Amino acid sequence: KAGVTQTPRYLIKTRGQQVTLSCSPISGHRSVSWYQQTPGQGLQFLFEYFSETQRNKGNFPGRFSGRQFSNSRSEMNVSTLELGDSALYLCASRLGGNTEAFFGQGTRLTVV
Amino acid sequence: AQSVTQPDIHITVSEGASLELRCNYSYGATPYLFWYVQSPGQGLQLLLKYFSGDTLVQGIKGFEAEFKRSQSSFNLRKPSVHWSDAAEYFCAVGGSFSGAQKLVFGQGTRLTINP
């Protein structure tokens, strides 16, 4: 069974640009969450989608947005990139309800 | 609000020695507790989870953890570490609100293994 797939693995963007990251969950999983990991702030929750609806949102500015498609694949978008957005962005998928989350390998975003 | 504290930022143990990584949580209801491991440049791998029932849970790679409600702790243990266990370990707490589950992570403990 394939795991959580995130693309691309690495990205370099310039300040002010926007970026879209993609996540394909484990087959059959309907919940997708996104996390940001930085050396200073650690792992922080961005948002969760379940059946195309955002169910929960972390404390991030509106520049961070996401969506989920009918096949459960999810995208995360960051507009007007700032240097501080440089991080490892991790996607996690769950079956739904109270089940464990499985993480992808992450997308390393560098903003220059 | 939920929170997780991992008191040890960095631990060094010798190969073959026993290991205990500490985790304390704060959560207003019955917590769901997890331990994840991360190798450099990689994602998070689930080691074990606690939802309910037996407070001693077994995980992969020979790890176990014990949930102690009275101490708000969920410490990770391994009787004999291997060089391949060197990585960063994260404790996380989650709960369910209207069907959504948000994980709150500790700051992580970096484990170094001496040969």
Question: Predicted confidence band at A72 (pLDDT cuts at 50, 70, 90)?
Answer: very high
Closest Cβ–Cβ partner in B32, B103, B108 for A98: B32
Closest Cβ–Cβ partner in A100, A103, A106 for B49: A100
pLDDT value of position A2: 81
Closest Cβ–Cβ partner in B42, B51, B103 for A45: B103
Cβ A33–B103 below 8 Å, yes or no? yes
Cβ A100–B107 below 8 Å, yes or no? no
Residue A1 has pLDDT above 70, yes or no: no
- Express the helix, strand and coil content of chain A in percent, nearest 5 each: 5, 55, 45
| A48/B contact by beta carbon, under 8 A | yes
In total, the C-beta contacts within 8 angstroms joining chain A to chain B are 64
Which residue in A has a C-alpha nearest to residue B49's C-alpha? A100
pLDDT tens, position by position, B26-56? 987 778 999 999 998 889 999 999 988 889 9
| pLDDT tens, N- to C-terminus, chain B (115 residues) | 789 999 999 999 999 999 999 999 998 777 899 999 999 888 999 999 998 888 999 999 999 999 999 999 999 999 999 999 999 999 999 876 555 578 999 999 999 999 8
CA A70 – CA B2 distance, rounded (Å): 31
On the 0-12 / 13-18 / 19+ scale of CB atoms within 10 A, B19 is middle
Residue A16 has pLDDT above 90, yes or no: yes
